[in-house]
Amino acid sequence: MPSLKLNKIVKDYGNGPVIHGLNLDISDNEFVALVGPSGCGKSTLLRMIAGLEHTTGGVFSVDGKDLTHATPQNRNMAMVFQSYALYPHMTVYDNIAFGPRIRGESENEYDKQVREAAEKLNLTSYLDKYPRQLSGGQRQRVAMGRAIVRDTRLFLFDEPLSNLDAKLRTHMRSEIRSLHNQLNSTTLYVTHDQIEAMTMADRIVVMNQGRIEQTGSPLELYDNPANIFVATFLGSPAMNIFEGSVIQSGDSLRVAFTDQHVVSVPAPSKSSVNVGDRIMVGARPQHLIVTTEQTENSLPMTVSYIEQTGAECFIGLEFLGEKYSLVSQDRIAIEAGTQVHVAFSKTHLFDKNTEIAL
Ligand SMILES: Nc1ncnc2c1ncn2[C@@H]1O[C@H](COP(=O)(O)OP(=O)(O)OP(=O)(O)O)[C@@H](O)[C@H]1O
Ligand SMILES: [Mg+2]
């Protein structure tokens, strides 16, 4: 029953902390995706959990047992790295059996495990092949096989799919998730890929500069971002942010973006703002509506580009020198350079100074 607890974890490589007293609980059988910009400390955190990196401060425990300073061998976790680091001169079988052999297990003991792992990963017919004879996805599965024969239920992944092409990634995404379900494991999965995080995880942890900004289910974070950072980090194209002042609050929220640009916007149900507040209005690209006619609730914008993918129409917009984006399911027949009028169908509101959701 691996459940993890990180309590006030600190990491300092010698130039000041890069992880600042981080708290995180992961339940048994949970699949948690860890996301955040490059350099925010994701790999550092994973390596500390695996015992590959010394922890400067705080306590890390598994099922209540303090493992903060335990050796990697005594943690019983499997880690899969971005580069799968297979042994090129060994067959798939030998690569998977490497761990048990090093631990001194006899062939009787590990042979069944290796074959079962290969079966789960669709590698049975490749056991005699060498890594160079395999595709990227097959190599990835061998790396997973090595992790599985560790006889652990606690998996750490550090961007394991980033070397694969789009099609293989999609395939491996569902394989990793179904393996997690089959083995009843607990998984912490670092990724740069939002679609991976959104589709694979029970819960997403958004990190920024060594701290957690927000945790929640993928849709909770998407629908109710706690602050501007999370709002603009999740979702592609990113949420548009407009600065303005509240002219009228209540059911009908009126916002002045400039003296000449005052419009009504649909306010989120729980938000509380007062007349005079400086706010940021966030609108996902899907929640901007383009019209050719001016209305009293539209802002005049210039089309900088338009891209049709068939299913969707991506429009780049400019307003007061800032760039915005709009995505529509409808095919909109306008050209770059045209002036259009843009209204809001849904918004998120944030305090201008604290950047926290209102
Ligand atoms: N061995 C090290 N020595 C000193 N500083 C390090 C070391 N490893 C990482 N850092 C620093 O710690 C911070 C976090 O790095 P880390 O590798 O954990 O980021 P990350 O979130 O995994 O980034 P990426 O998404 O690019 O992989 C960075 O500022 C990095 O420069
Ligand atoms: Mg990293």
Domain C-terminal end among 233, 264, 297: 233
Same domain, 244 and 226: no
State in Å: Cα 18 to ligand 1 middle. Answer: 8
306 has which bridge partners? Answer: 315
62-71, 134-143, 277-286: least confidently modelled range: 134-143
Same domain, 136 and 259: no
Which residue among 10, 12, 20, 44 is best mutated to probe the pocket of ligand 1, counting the most ligand atoms within 8 A of its Cβ? 44
Q: Residue 148 has what pLDDT?
A: 83
Judged against a pLDDT cut of 80, whether residue 149 lies above it is answered with: yes
89-93, 162-166, 233-237, 272-276: least confidently modelled range: 162-166
Q: Residue 104 has what pLDDT?
A: 86
Domain interval for residue 109: 4-233
For strands 203-208 and 211-216, give the pairing.
antiparallel
Q: From the CB of 125, is ligand 1 less than 6 Å away?
A: no
What CATH number did the domain enclosing 202 receive?
A: 3.40.50.300
Domain C-terminal end among 207, 233, 259: 233
Q: Residue 169 has what pLDDT?
A: 83
Handedness of CA 88, 90, 91, 97 (dihedral sign): negative
Q: What's the structural domain count of the chain?
A: 2
For residue 332, the Cα-to-chain-centroid distance in whole angstroms is 31
User: Ligand nearest 157 Cα, by number?
Assistant: 2
Same domain, 223 and 275: no
Same domain, 297 and 268: yes
21-35, 143-157, 268-282: least confidently modelled range: 143-157
pLDDT digits (tens, 9 = 90+) for 186-212: 999 999 888 899 999 999 999 999 999
Q: Residue 272 has what pLDDT?
A: 83
Largest CA distance in the chain: 80
Amino acid at 20: H
pLDDT digits (tens, 9 = 90+) for 61-112: 999 999 999 998 888 888 887 776 789 999 999 999 998 888 888 998 899 9
Q: Residue 269 has what pLDDT?
A: 80
Mean pLDDT of the 135-145 span: 85
Judged against a pLDDT cut of 90, whether residue 295 lies above it is answered with: no
Most confident of 2-11, 85-94, 285-294: 2-11
Measured by CA distance, the residue closest to atom 5 of ligand 1 is 13
For strands 31-35 and 186-190, give the pairing.
parallel
Q: Residue 1 has what pLDDT?
A: 62
Measured by CA distance, the residue closest to atom 22 of ligand 1 is 43
CB 191 within 8 Å of CB 31: no
The span from the CA of 209 to the CA of 223, in Å, is 23
- Give percent of the chain above pLDDT 70: 99
Q: From the CB of 40, is ligand 1 less than 6 Å away?
A: yes
Judged against a pLDDT cut of 90, whether residue 122 lies above it is answered with: no
Q: Residue 120 has what pLDDT?
A: 82
Residue 356 lies in a domain: no
Mean pLDDT of the 162-181 span: 84
Q: Comparing 214 with 140, which gets the higher pLDDT?
A: 214
